[in-house]
Amino acid sequence: MDILLIILGALCLLTGLAGCILPMLPGPPLAYAGLLLLHFTERVQFSVAQLLVWLGIVVVIQVLDYFVPLLGAKYSGSSKWGTRGCLVGTVVGLFFMPWGIILGPFLGAVIGELLGGRQAGEALKSGLGSVLGFLLGTVLKCVVCGYFIWLFVTALL
C-alpha cells in the first residue's frame, strides 16, 4: 500500500507543479495532497505542526494568486479605475481559460484606466503591472511546489 501512496503522491506533486503554469489545475493544493499521501505511508511521518504550516502556506498562496495582479496594477501607477478593471477582468478571465487568466486582468486594467480618463500609455503601464503581478504569483506557486517536491524527495531518501 505504501508504494501506491508514494506513486500517487509523486503524481500529485508533478501535477501540482504543472498546475503552477496551467491555470485550470490548482498547483499548490495538489502538491500539498502529495505530501499528505506521503504522510499516510509508514515510511515518512510529518508532524501536525509541519502539515498545518504547509496548509497555511498553500491557503495564503492560493488567495494571493488572485490579488497579486491587482497589487501589480496598483504599484505600477494604476488608479481605482484600473484596479477595479483588473478585478473585473480577473473574474471574467476565469471563464475563458487558459488565456483569460492572463489577458483578463491586463485588459481589465487597461480598459478601466481608459474609462477613467487616463492616456493610453498610462493604461498600458497599468495593464503591464497586472501581468507582472500574475507572473510573480506564478513564480511564488512554483517555489512552493518546488519546496514540496524537495521535501518529498528528501523524506524518501
What average pLDDT does the structure give for the chain? 88
Residue pLDDT, tens place only, 57-89: 999 999 888 788 777 777 777 788 888 888 888
What would the mean pLDDT of 13-27 be, rounded to a whole number? 87
- Burial of residue 128 (CB within 10 Å: 0-12, 13-18, 19+) is middle
Q: Looking at residue 29, what is its pLDDT? A: 96
Crossing angle of helices 27-39 and 120-156, rounded to 10°: 10
Task: Check whether 129 has a pLDDT greater than 90.
Answer: no
Task: Check whether 90 has a pLDDT greater than 90.
Answer: no
CB 105 within 8 A of CB 65: no
Grid-cell match 504543472, residue found: 18
Task: Check whether 40 has a pLDDT greater than 80.
Answer: yes
Q: Looking at residue 17, what is its pLDDT? A: 93
